[in-house]
Amino acid sequence: MAFVFWFYGLSGSGKTTIADIFAKQNEDRYGKIERLDGDKEREWWHNDLGYSRLDRIRNITRATAKANVLSLRGITVVASFTTPFRKMREHLKSVLGDRLQLILIDTPLKECIRRDPKGLYKKAMSGELKNMIGVDVKFEY
């Protein structure tokens, strides 16, 4: 069995960047590392899901299952997903137990909006995008 390091936080918080650096810096320590990232998972495997609360939960449930299988096979997982709801994080803990290390990237919303690398906050604030975490859907700390 291996650890699952799960980085979570708002869009634009730096989750992916920090998780990439963490994975690179820990290759020697943990051996084989698999990176799971919310954007890539949605693009490649979960493109049937939208951004409703239920679809977000389904997305994390699928990613949790993948992380679990990899971890049980001895592959360390470094994941970066928004994971905005407590229910999601409770699910992670129930499946992964002591193998899970949850890491909150607690960047203030104002800074995430300033960065807005994908232009999502701008779209959400103009009403063009619905169900944006931090704008019209609360991030549950």
Residue 115 lies in a domain: no
Residue 128 lies in a domain: no
Q: How many domains does the chain have?
A: 1
This prediction has a pTM of 0.94
Residue 118 lies in a domain: no
pLDDT at 110: 97
pLDDT at 42: 80
Residue 116 lies in a domain: no
Say how far apart CA 96 and CA 56 lie, in whole Å: 19
Q: Residue 77 belongs to a domain with what CATH number?
A: 3.40.50.300
The tens digit of pLDDT for each residue in 109-125 reads 999 999 999 999 999 99
Mean pLDDT of all residues belonging to the chain: 95
Residue 29 lies in a domain: yes
Residue 124 lies in a domain: no
Task: Give the pair of three-digit tokens for residue 43.
Answer: 């693009």
| Domain of residue 58, residue span | 4-107
Residue 15 lies in a domain: yes
Residue 101 lies in a domain: yes
Instruction: Label residues 13-40 b or e (16+ Cβ within 10 Å = b).
Output: bbbbebbeebbeeeeeebeebbebbbee
Sheet holding 100-104, edge to edge: 33-37, 76-80, 4-8, 100-104
